[in-house]
Structure 1
Amino acid sequence: MTYPIAYQLYSSRNFPPLADQLPILKSMGYDAIEPWLPAYEADPKLFRRQLDDAGLACYGFHMPLAGLVSDPNRFIDIALTLGATVLIPPYVTAEERENTPAYWQALGHKLAKGADAAKPHSLKVAWHNHDFEYYALPDGTRPIEHIFAESGDAWFEIDCGWIVRAGADPAAELKRYASRIIAIQLKDTAPIGTKEDDGWTATGDGIIEWGHLTPLFRATTADHLVAEHDNPTDWQAFAKRSIDYMKKIGL
């Protein structure tokens, strides 16, 4: 099985215009893009036309958790316009976070309510992790456990790079949440302490042993993969090296 591969447009946010990037990504072999707010916000219909013109799909998009809670219908409409099937809240700020199980359980409950709102439209909701979900709370539990204990039908876009940055084991997390994982981000990281490109690398150029992880992908419910880099100096080099590596190892 080979997976469709999407490119997270956040990776090249510093190299506008984004529309000019789309045909380049298609020529590299990408099947889809994964946009983040505000890339699609100003004119979702125009953004969809630009995707169609480039021959790219949109499987899912990043969006604010607050939008899922307070304005779900707006983002459901955007999903339907873009042809996306997954709404993905990816973050809560450090100021919002609380170091208690109750806070993270409440976050999971918000995802569950969002998933319930999306379901009649044949849409799904997924959480995307960073590192903070993997740092232990004072009682020894981890936020990620509390999120998914209360998240109902919500799914998981697992970001392997952030898990490694947190000192956790992506293999263990791929196994633990195999039945929840809908997308896998093959974000790679240089050795901790690397300053260049904020320590991120193209997939295959970092310290993550993808050959050990990729067999675990097959046991998950993931239906696509995503390339992402938080701050590349050269977005095209990152994008090309990442997809070439994924294809080289049979993904």
Structure 2
Amino acid sequence: MAYPIAYQLYSSRNFPPLAAQFPILKQMGYDAIEPWLPAYEADPALFRRQLDDAGLACYGFHMPLSGLVDEPERFIDIALTLGATLMIPPYIPVEERETTSAFWQRLGEKLARGAQKAQPHDLKVAWHNHDFEYLALPDGSRPIDHILETGGDTVWFEIDCGWITRAGADPAAELTRYGDRIAAIQTKDTAPPGTAADDGWTATGDGIIDWETLVPLFKQTAADHIVAEHDNPSDWQRFAGRSIEKLRALGL
């Protein structure tokens, strides 16, 4: 199965103007952009026109959790303007995190309430992980399990294989465990521990993750697209080009 492949625009945030990147990404073979706030916030309609002009889609976009909780209608309108179907809160700042199960269960409940508001518009809500969701709480449980179990079936999951690996967890196990909840798969790769260049991140296939083992598991999930991301590349075009080349070589 050949998946549509999106490019997480956060990867090249340090190389403006962003719209100038779109034709380059299209030429490389990308099908879509996954933007993050604030890339689309100033003028979502203009952002959509720039994507259309480049022949790119937007399947999902990253947004603040506070936007889903406090301004759901605004972000639903943004989703509809961008043509996205997936609304993705990706992060809780460290100063706002708590180490109790109840805190992460409340997060799941917030996502479920947002999903309920999005559903009539044919939109889905998905959580995107970093490493902290895989670090055990004092009671031995994991935040990711509380988020998804309390959120229920209307809360989807954009799984980031790189951050799971950084947390010392096994992306293969997580792909299997939550396969029917996974809406999108981020193929972020990480260099060996101790690597300083590019904050230790690397192009897909250039790091320590065994993608050949993971790809068969991708096909057992509910994911309908793949997302390439690198948190801080010194050369965004090299990252983008090598990543999509690797993903297509893997049959994705």
3-state SS in 2 of match to 1:87: strand
Partner of 1:54: 54
3-state SS in 1 of match to 2:77: helix
3-state SS in 2 of match to 1:45: helix
Partner of 2:146: 146
Which residue identity lines up with residue 105 of structure 1 in the other structure? Q
Which residue identity lines up with residue 41 of structure 2 in the other structure? E
Rounded to whole Å, the distance in 2 between the matches of 1:225 and 1:110 is 26
**Runs of 4 or more above 4 Å deviation:** none
Partner of 1:4: 4
Residue 96 of structure 2 is aligned to residue 108 of structure 1: no
Rounded to whole Å, the distance in 2 between the matches of 1:140 and 1:212 is 28
3-state SS in 1 of match to 2:212: helix
- RMSD of the TM alignment (CA)? 0.4
Name structure 2 gaps, 5 residues minimum: none
Structure 2 matches for 1:172-251, cutoff 5 A? 172-251=173-252
Rounded to whole Å, the distance in 2 between the matches of 1:167 and 1:232 is 22
Deviations 1:67-97 (A, max 9, x none): 0000000000000000000000000000000
Residue 52 of structure 2 is aligned to residue 75 of structure 1: no
3-state SS in 2 of match to 1:110: helix
3-state SS in 2 of match to 1:179: helix
3-state SS in 2 of match to 1:150: helix
Name structure 1 gaps, 5 residues minimum: none
Identical residues among aligned pairs (%)? 76
Aligned pairs, number: 251
Rounded to whole Å, the distance in 1 between the matches of 2:125 and 2:196 is 34
3-state SS in 2 of match to 1:205: coil
Rounded to whole Å, the distance in 2 between the matches of 1:149 and 1:186 is 24
Deviations 1:189-235 (A, max 9, x none): 00111100000000000000000100000100000000000000000
1:149 Cα deviation from its structure 2 partner: 1.3
1:49 Cα deviation from its structure 2 partner: 0.3
1:150 Cα deviation from its structure 2 partner: 1.1
Which residue identity lines up with residue 22 of structure 1 in the other structure? F
Rounded to whole Å, the distance in 1 between the matches of 2:217 and 2:147 is 22
Rounded to whole Å, the distance in 2 between the matches of 1:28 and 1:81 is 25
